[in-house]
Amino acid sequence: METAHTDKNFEQKLNHLTDNLIKMSNIVEKQIEIAVNVIKSKDSSDAQTTQNLDEQVDEVERDVRDLSFEIMTLHRPVASDLRLVFTALKVSKELERMGDHSRNLAKRAISISSSFDEDLTDQMHNLGKGVQKMVNQTLESFFKKDEVQARISWNQDAEIDRQYKSLLSDLIERMHNKETSVVDEGTKPILIAKSLERIGDHATNIAEEVIFNITGHYIDLKKTDFE
């Protein structure tokens, strides 16, 4: 447990920064959960909810940016405080991008016909569930300052990528075979899968920031022990 700051004003601002990140994370987790469900439900009001939530995410991101700037200007943070502010700025940017992808994929999902191939829909949904789990665990590792969990989350991206490539080759193969229900939807399923894969990438970036926040070092991407 970290000792409290002598400067209470500074302490309050740092707590407020963390509170904003928790708020932003909760919204983005909700956004992803809804968007992944929309892949199957094709519920347009849920898709609209992801759009509404995205506006909230953007607003909190601006708050994080402004507060970080204020803390750096007025309090000159160092050591663990500096790492927190630096991480907050980067994590909020990743969360904002995740929110955009969730909104986009939900919007595309409702435009896909209900007669679209069930197996491919299941594959997209499963990919979404995997991404959702990875995001939840990564964000939990951030707030619990759990380096081990962050490393586990970081490693999960390889499985997400594998599922994404498998889904992609399946889609392309069925297009080659001129399966009507797949061809009619054009690139929409590919873009949905790509959005999910990108959300996984952003979660990986957050895991790297979590490790930096805890250790002061970025993980070496070439090291095999993360593979």
Partner 1 sequence: MVDQNSNYALQTSEVYVHYGKKMAINNVALNFPKNEVTSLIGPSGCGKSTFLRCLNRMNDVIDICNVKGKFLLNGNVDIYSPDIQVETLREKVGMVFQKPNPFPKTIYENVAYGPKIHGIASSQNELDEIVKDSLHRAGLYEEVKDRMDDIATGLSGGQQQRLCIARAIAIRPEIILMDEPCSALDPIATAKIEDLINELKENYTIIIVTHSMSQASRVSSKTAFFHLGNLVEYGETGKIFTKPDKEQTNDYITGRFG
Does 7 sit near partner 1 (CB under 8 A)? yes
Where b means 16+ CB within 10 Å and e means fewer, 181-216 reads ebeebeebbbebbbbbbbbbbbbbbbbbbbbbbbee
In whole angstroms, the minimum distance from the beta carbon of 163 to partner 1 comes to 36
Q: d(Cα 52, Cα 155) in Å, to the nearest integer? A: 32
Q: Which one among 6, 73, 177, 224 touches partner 1, defined by CB under 8 A? A: 6
Q: Is 226 helix (H, G, I), strand (E, B) or coil?
A: helix
In whole angstroms, the minimum distance from the beta carbon of 219 to partner 1 comes to 14
Q: d(Cα 201, Cα 157) in Å, to the nearest integer? A: 7
Does 22 sit near partner 1 (CB under 8 A)? no
Does 70 sit near partner 1 (CB under 8 A)? no
Does 80 sit near partner 1 (CB under 8 A)? yes
Q: Quick one: which segment of 23-31, 39-47, 78-86, 136-144 binds partner 1 (CB under 8 A)? A: 78-86
- Segment 58-64 long-range contacts (CB within 8 Å, at least 24 positions apart): 58/96, 58/99, 60/20, 60/23, 60/24, 60/27, 60/92, 61/24, 61/92, 61/93, 61/95, 61/96, 63/20, 64/17, 64/20, 64/21, 64/24, 64/88, 64/89, 64/92
Q: Segment 193-222, which members bind partner 1 (CB under 8 A)?
A: 215-217
String marking each residue 49-68 x if it binds partner 1 according to CB under 8 A: --------------------
Does 5 sit near partner 1 (CB under 8 A)? yes
Does 78 sit near partner 1 (CB under 8 A)? yes
String marking each residue 81-110 x if it binds partner 1 according to CB under 8 A: xxx---------------------------
DSSP state of 224: G
Does 3 sit near partner 1 (CB under 8 A)? yes
**Contacting positions for partner 1 (CB under 8 A):** 2-7, 10, 76-83, 215-217
